Amino acid sequence: MEISKTKLDGVLLLTPKRHGDARGYFCETWNKARMAEQGLDYDFVQDNQSLSAEVGTVRGLHFQSPPHAQAKLVRCGRGALLDVAVDIRKGSPTYGQWISEELSAENGRQLLIPEGFLHGFITLMPDTEILYKCNDYYSPECDGAVRFDDPDIGVDWGSDTSGATLSTKDANAQSFADFNSPFEWTAS
């Protein structure tokens, strides 16, 4: 597995090895022991999958606050998406900064997003499926959202999002200025 850092400390881009043959390929998309060998020892407890039918669907920017904060291992099972993480750890040198990576069924790349980050994505193809592992369970009372297009964060979604397909939750999400993050940064 190839592992590369991003400008946000702790957010990593993983590219698992694909074993190709005449039929296609085989890939271990997650291996707890192999990841632990790399110091990435997460106890994932919940797998999620969502399908977004339309290109330009945006889901995010979401987080779960402690005590049910979630680290996520994100990949694309069908289609393509631009995955985004935003640092919301108070005191972090990169607080409020974001990164984006294109994840697709074709490139097989994964984004590892620790607790303390907003997560969201925009779909780049119709019928895009996102698959992700979480290291804590869904907790509606801890679920939160910040506007995906908040100017204080300034995510470049790569396209005009004025007509983005959104959930009501996302359409009514709070501004970053009003957001009081429950996460604190600690120097590693």
- Residue 62 binds ligand T46, judged by CB under 6 A: yes
- Residue 172 binds ligand T46, judged by CB under 6 A: no
Q: Residues 6 or more apart from 117 whose CB is under 8 A from it? A: 8, 10, 11, 63, 85, 86, 87, 88, 89
Nearer to ligand T46, 92 or 136 (CB): 136
Residue nearest to ligand T46 (CB): 138
* Residue 86 tokens, joined: 């935003």
Interface with ligand T46 by CB under 6 A: which range of 21-29, 57-65, 95-103, 173-181?
A: 57-65
Q: Give min distance, CB of 60 to ligand T46, in A.
A: 5
Is residue 62 part of the annotated active site? The answer reads: yes
- Residue 75 binds ligand T46, judged by CB under 6 A: no
Nearer to ligand T46, 35 or 170 (CB): 170
Q: What are the helix (H) ranges across the chain?
A: 32-37, 168-171
Could you please report the per-residue DSSP string of 101-156?
EEEETTT--EEEE-SSEEEEEEESSTTEEEEEEESS---GGGEEEB-TT-TTT---
Interface with ligand T46 by CB under 6 A: which range of 34-42, 92-100, 117-125, 154-162?
A: 117-125
When binding is defined by CB under 6 A, the residue of 49, 107, 159, 167 that contacts ligand T46 is 167
